[in-house]
Amino acid sequence: MLRILGFIRAALLCYLPEIYRPASAPPEIELVVPCRVGGYIVAAVGGTTLFISFFGFLEALNESIIEGPDILGNPNVEGYPALMLFGVGMFLNFVLRPTTLLLFYIFMDGLLRTYFTFTGEVYGALILYPFVWVHLWLQPRYLERSLGPRVPDRVEWAEDKSYDLLIGTCRRKPRWDRLITIRFQDRLYEVLKERKGVPPYRFHYELRRNPRSRVTRKIYDYDPDEAVKSDWQLDRAELRKL
């Protein structure tokens, strides 16, 4: 029973785009099968209902013709040009109905989401992605504004500390980790720790002289003015760390 409930929960979570899924949601690889099954069901229900609705429309259209050929039995409308235009107009009326558009969306949503599961990807309800795009466009701008104005970094030399250099910056440096080597004023440093500061220097980095025994993998040339010069746009990986 618990497995069934877990499967249903996973199938429902599949309707949420990745950025809106709760932290308790299963990893994407575990959502592929529930998403595929849910997509099959939704596509089948939407497609079947649309099919029945279309033939109901044809029956109603045929009954609305008082004189002329039987549209369902004899689609040849030669000699009845006005009847052809009438049929096209009625068909457009059917296609543009809110219920028809809704059923078509449900069918295509289930079909496309099922198709993408065969590539190992899980997409939420397609109608939610315009909101995702707006969200991703607004989020970095909101974070940029909330962090305050950009100012050059503050560099302090340290004595009798576990570090040799303390850098205060107004913007986080997400790519600074223990694997990177910082070059500043022709000296090499390793990043020891990141800690919180106070505005405008919200982030502090402790650096120490690079030990001779340490393997240097990649060197980053540090410029104290880089926070002011750099593009403020943030990628999704950086947004998750802020």
Run of H or E including 94: helix 81-95
d(CA 64, CA 12): 43
State both tokens at 233: 């746009």
For 30, other C-beta atoms within 10 Å of its C-beta total 13
Pairing type for strands 187-198 and 180-184 reads antiparallel
For 71, other C-beta atoms within 10 Å of its C-beta total 20
d(CA 34, CA 14): 8
| 22 secondary structure, DSSP code | -
CA distances (Å), origin 194, targets 18, 156, 174, 181 = 28, 15, 10, 15
d(CA 41, CA 143): 40
d(CA 207, CA 223): 14
The pLDDT assigned to 12 comes to 86
CA distances (Å), origin 162, targets 66, 153, 158, 176, 224 = 95, 21, 9, 18, 22
State both tokens at 50: 């649309």
The pLDDT assigned to 155 comes to 94
Run of H or E including 9: helix 2-13
Sequence spans of domains, the chain: 2-142, 154-241
pLDDT digits (tens, 9 = 90+) for 207-222: 999 888 887 878 899 9
pLDDT digits (tens, 9 = 90+) for 102-158: 999 999 999 999 999 998 889 989 889 999 999 888 888 888 888 888 999 999 998
User: 3-state DSSP call for residue 118?
Assistant: coil
* pTM to 2 decimal places: 0.58
The pLDDT assigned to 81 comes to 54
The structure tokens 């940029």 sit at 144
Which residues, including other chains, have CB under 8 Å from residue 71's CB and lie 6 or more apart?
A: 58, 61, 62, 65, 77, 87
pLDDT digits (tens, 9 = 90+) for 63-95: 665 444 554 455 554 545 555 555 666 777 777
